[in-house]
Structure 1
Amino acid sequence: MNLIAKNWDLIIIDHLESAYACRSSNSPVVYISHNRESTLISQKIPNAPSWIQKILTAWIDHYEKKTVKTVNAVITISSDEANWYRLFNSLVIILPPTFNSTVTPVKPRKDGRLRIGFLGGSKWKPNRDAMELLLLHILPLSQRPIELVIAGSDWSMPLLQSQLQKSIGDDRVALRYMGYIDDINKFWTDVDVFAAPIANGAGVNVKVCEALSNARPVIAYPHAMRGLKGIDQSFVFLASNPIEFAQALDSFDFAAITNNPPHEFTPSYAKSKLSDLLQTIISRF
């Protein structure tokens, strides 16, 4: 293969399966990890027998450890997973997902409602669970006028409206469904705060990272913030149950909205971290 035959200055592999292609290369290798793959087996094949899941988990865990030991550096988006990688490799950097786009200014509010953003399609179970939490358990406890702005495919608005009507029974909460949108800026410009009542799923929540990259404050369950440590607390409001989540919505101050995202979620931060990493590899190799 070309990766093995040629003497590259640097090889960057994206995802675990790419490691096989450069197993015999003499060039330095950087492994970009999106998740610890061995933790995702039950999520990727939920209907497989448990014994098959256990075998695959053990095999991938072994291959993952071997890969991390042999590469020159690891880039991970998760501070939690970085601790595991450092057991096998001393050069690990944390680089949250960064979206190279201009921060979208918030449109003025017409009716004073707090506009809560929800991003994701209904086919993914963690999204369905989060939507159910919002409509049936969180929003009924909030006392302020709210507009829930939903972007994502396959949601049934009649069903969502019916659930909301049963749980609240008045017009204090309005729903607006944007469907699947090609231009995500159209979503962010109509959102004051991003809601992430995520209680399950694996890995870093990329939607939370996208909200922070767009300088939108996030109200979230702790699970939604897994792997994201040390973020400016003026952007993140944690709630451990529906009551605390509703209280965070009620106390949210529009003054918390800014056009300046946390430093860790800016392109300049990513460029600086990558530049430092490359210099370190060059000096060692």
Structure 2
Amino acid sequence: MRYVSLGTYPIRQPVQGGQLRANAIHKVLRDCGWETRHVLVTPNRGARREMEAGDLFIEMPRRFRKQMARRKWRSDVATAEFIARSSSHRLEIARFLDDFRPDVIAVEQGWLWPALREYVETCPPEANFSIVYSSHNVEQHLLAQEAAIAGAGTDLWSARRAADIESDLAAKADLVVAVSEQDAAHFRKLNPSVVVAGNGVWPRETPVGLDRWASRFAGLRTALFVGSGHPPNARGFLQMTDPDLGFLSASERIVVVGGVADQIRNDPGFLRHRGADNARIELLGMQDGANLSALIELADVVMLPIVEGGGTNIKTAEALYNRKPVVATSFALRGYEQFQHWPNVRLADRPEDFRDVLAQALRSEPEELNSADIAQLDTLLWSSTLRKLPELFAALPRRQRQPAAKPADGRGRFLHGLLQRLGLRGRS
């Protein structure tokens, strides 16, 4: 069977959560014998290097990128706006789908739904496919939350655009795949065909540089914080640490890996305390998988100061699966509630409590896990969290071309569809 995903980021070399999830779905399907492809629409020219043979890459033109920057659009919302305006690129996607003839077309996070919605109306009669909304969170809720935060870079227009796109897609999809029961409850108000397939992890890479990192942190107890440059990651860290790190002793360090390090480094609140903080934090920035694996191996604690966002956090699954003591907010464990009373998991939701619990964890030894605890960890693997998807996708009803809403007569429908496919109707 054949599967194609439509998204706004490359997935061959995944780094952030959305990429990791989309990549894992492709891998699980391929392991079951499916043939898969990915369609990418992005402002990032360099992403072409991360495409696999047979995939489709569409780069937003310079003129639109300038408009996006001028209006301060989020790149994901801008992608939806771009594809809705560009009949030529919608036609390019349609031709790709015609050639590949997928059994299942999945829209990752919804932003390319304007292209697929038109394809449903204008696809060739022999097309026979199902539509899946592969949801990572409730986008309209997430963007509405961000729009209410000063300086978050999301406006009400973006939130409303997300609500329009996501609600329409969720209602029309043959299946919605959600990451948590909380998200699923929202989508079931729009569509009864909803399934939960949680976020997971793969076993981490073989570590490199263990001796080098061990030497650098010799004699220190370390708390590892890993996060992308997504602003909520930095806001959570700064909120839960004050950001005055004076609560740590001279032999304790917070080690920060990922794009979040630059966000923390440049934050005005952090800069006010940098004299004391610089002696208690290591802002390492981006590291490859093998070096990150070494840092996880050496860490005494993994911290998850997550206070906002949507969906669930893959970093939570990574921390749990790697058998490290975890200090987290209860919000960080959404989707993983079965682990909230697990050995070595400590929860705190007030900043002062979070700091106290983190210090306690750094100054104590972890409990030993029993065989039942260790067996439960296997439920966090992608091969477990996504195991039902191949069978569910294969069983979905296949749809054929749906008549366009207008014009009403058969000859008009045919002409309308033909003009759209030739790029002569609705040209931007």
**What is the TM-score of this pair, normalised by structure 2?**
0.52
Measure the CA separation in 2 of the matches of 1:67 and 1:92.
13
> Percent identity among equivalent residues?
22
Q: Is the 8 A contact 1:135 1:164 kept in 2?
A: no
* Residue in structure 2 matching 1:273, options 383, 388, 394: 388
Q: Is the 8 A contact 2:225 2:256 kept in 1?
A: yes
Count of matched residue positions in the alignment of Structure 1 and Structure 2? 274
1:223 counterpart residue number:
331
Per-residue CA distance 1:214-258 (angstroms, 9 max, x = gap): 343421123333444333632632102134323433543533476
Measure the CA separation in 2 of the matches of 1:32 and 1:76.
7
2:273 counterpart residue number:
163
Q: Is the 8 A contact 1:216 1:257 kept in 2?
A: no
After TM superposition, list the pairs within 5 Å mapping 1:46-195 onto structure 2: 53-102=155-204, 110-111=218-219, 113-120=220-227, 124=231, 126-131=233-238, 133-134=240-241, 136=243, 140-141=246-247, 145-153=251-259, 154=262, 156=265, 163=273, 166=276, 174-183=280-289, 184-195=292-303
Measure the CA separation in 2 of the matches of 1:57 and 1:186.
39
Higher Rg of the two aligned structures: 2
Q: Is the 8 A contact 1:15 1:31 kept in 2?
A: yes
CA, structure 1 residues 230+90, in 2 after alignment: closer, same or farther (shift >3 Å)?
farther
Per-residue CA distance 1:131-188 (angstroms, 9 max, x = gap): 3632646x5446795221121342549x969726558xxx9x8433323212321331
Q: CA deviation at 1:268?
A: 2.6
Q: In structure 2, give the amino acid aligned to 1:265.
A: L
Does residue 207 of structure 1 match 2:301? no
Measure the CA separation in 2 of the matches of 1:267 and 1:163.
40
Measure the CA separation in 1 of the matches of 2:368 and 2:274.
27
* Residue in structure 2 matching 1:255, options 366, 371, 378: 366
Does residue 9 of structure 1 match 2:103? yes
Q: CA deviation at 1:82?
A: 1.3
CA, structure 1 residues 207+166, in 2 after alignment: closer, same or farther (shift >3 Å)?
same
What RMSD over aligned residues (CA atoms) do the two structures have, in Å? 4.1
Q: In structure 1, give the amino acid aligned to 2:377.
A: P
Measure the CA separation in 2 of the matches of 1:103 and 1:254.
25
Gaps of 5+ in 1: none
Q: Is the 8 A contact 2:312 2:335 kept in 1?
A: yes
Query: Could you say what secondary structure the match of 1:40 adopts?
Result: helix
Q: Is the 8 A contact 1:4 1:22 kept in 2?
A: no
Q: CA deviation at 1:84?
A: 0.4
Gaps of 5+ in 2: 1-93, 401-428
Measure the CA separation in 2 of the matches of 1:119 and 1:15.
23
Q: Is the 8 A contact 1:136 1:164 kept in 2?
A: no
CA, structure 1 residues 195+281, in 2 after alignment: closer, same or farther (shift >3 Å)?
same
CA, structure 1 residues 143+47, in 2 after alignment: closer, same or farther (shift >3 Å)?
closer
Q: CA deviation at 1:33?
A: 0.9
Measure the CA separation in 1 of the matches of 2:173 and 2:294.
41
Measure the CA separation in 2 of the matches of 1:224 and 1:76.
17
